[in-house]
Amino acid sequence: MLLIALCLVFCLSPAHATGFNGQSYVPLADWARASGLRCFWLKRGDEIVATNRTTRLVFDKYSRMAEVNGINVALSFPVALDHGTLLIAQMDLNTAIRPLLFLPRFADPKRITTICLDPGHGGKDTGNHTFWHSEKTYTLALALELRDQLQKAGFNVILTRNKDTYVELPDRPALANRRGADLFVSLHFNATPTGKDDVEGPQTYCITPVGASSTDAQGEGANYGPTMANRVEQRSLLLAYQMQKSLVQYLRVPDRGVRRARYAVLRDATMPAILIEGGYMTHPVERKKIYDAAYRRQMAQAMVKGIIAYQRLVSPPPVPMALPITNRLVGTNRVSTLKHMQ
């Protein structure tokens, strides 16, 4: 029974695979059923839901954004529609959906002790600039607040800069690597390129999977080779997911999603690494919050919660001996992941 179930979940027959965008695609409904999820249309031909007692996934036709238990997660390839059937790229099942639903077994689930915080920009590099406010000022202010809160929570913290200085991009992950940091968190604030003022909310980036183009690719395509960061990309995705979820739920702000990018500060990190865009300096209400120390304190609290939620996932508590029969099929790790995904 176990072998049959594992085969259904992990080895969908190549006969079901279809080619789009140069990728192998599989019918979403078939994958969902094989993974123990009930599948139905929210809008026939447009939007599909895959759900069970603990999980809810929503996919839209032609969209690169999926909803995973209430949080938006960018896919590498859009969901396709073929003769009334929604299809998903096998690569997205492997690199975005499965790692979030079925917690991978990490070879070295070591405890997180040291966290490297990277306040974006600094010195001659102001970052985004709206009126007389520079992004570099607020990334540093947030980093110092987050450092204090993480230290209170028992973590060691390293900063790539603690004053208004310019630090080269490659030097930032290099410092984290040299000092043996367990996590790398780069802090930024966003702006729309046109100054359009109706976009708000945080987004959290982690490394792009090998063979995919980044979520907001600007000329950087799928043929970019593997980076150092791809070695730990599943952990980075889990960290990004937990961080985004914590920010959205705790701050009650619009969800701009977990996204993928090969930013210079992410691609050379050897530990799980994320880049957070904490909100938009071009949004008239959100920018006032970003400039407010009390709001940044709340944002830092949400980030500490996100890191602690991630830590629980990668260092799960001992698994109870008696498991419900429905959970035995896909292994014990699924139980702890799904609990934490709620």
- Assign residue 233 a region (left: φ > 0; alpha: ψ between -120 and 50; beta: otherwise): alpha
Q: Is 94 exposed, middle or buried (0-12, 13-18, 19+ CB in 10 A)?
A: middle
The stretch near Zn ion (CB under 5 A) out of 49-57, 127-135, 199-207, 330-338 is 127-135
Q: What residues numbered 65-124 form the site for Zn ion, per CB under 5 A?
A: 120
Instruction: Out of 36, 127, 173, 202, point to the residue binding Zn ion (CB under 5 A).
Output: 127
Sign (positive or negative) of CA dihedral 253, 261, 313, 183: negative
Note whether 188 binds Zn ion by CB under 5 A.
yes
Long-range contacts of the stretch 222-231 (C-beta < 8 A, 24+): 224/262, 227/262, 227/266, 227/267, 227/268, 228/267, 228/268, 228/269, 228/270, 229/266, 229/267, 229/268, 229/269, 229/270, 229/273, 231/270
Nearer to Zn ion, 92 or 135 (CB): 135
Cα 283 to its chain centre, rounded Å, is 23
Going by C-alpha positions, the residue among 258, 244, 246, 294 that lies closest to residue 142 is 294
Report which residue's Cβ sits closest to Zn ion: 188
Binding to Zn ion (CB under 5 A): which residues in 228-247?
none
Of residues 127 and 272, the one with the C-beta less far from Zn ion: 127
Does residue 334 interact with Zn ion by CB under 5 A? no
Q: At closest approach, how far in Å is the CB of 207 from Zn ion?
A: 17
From the CB of 119, what's the least distance to Zn ion, in Å?
10
Instruction: Name the segment binding Zn ion (CB under 5 A); options: 40-48, 125-133, 228-236, 284-292.
Output: 125-133
CB of 188 to Zn ion, least distance (A): 3
- According to the binding rule CB under 5 A, does residue 260 interact with Zn ion? no
Smaller CB separation from Zn ion, 235 or 287: 287
Applying CB under 5 A, the residues found at the interface with Zn ion are 120, 127, 188
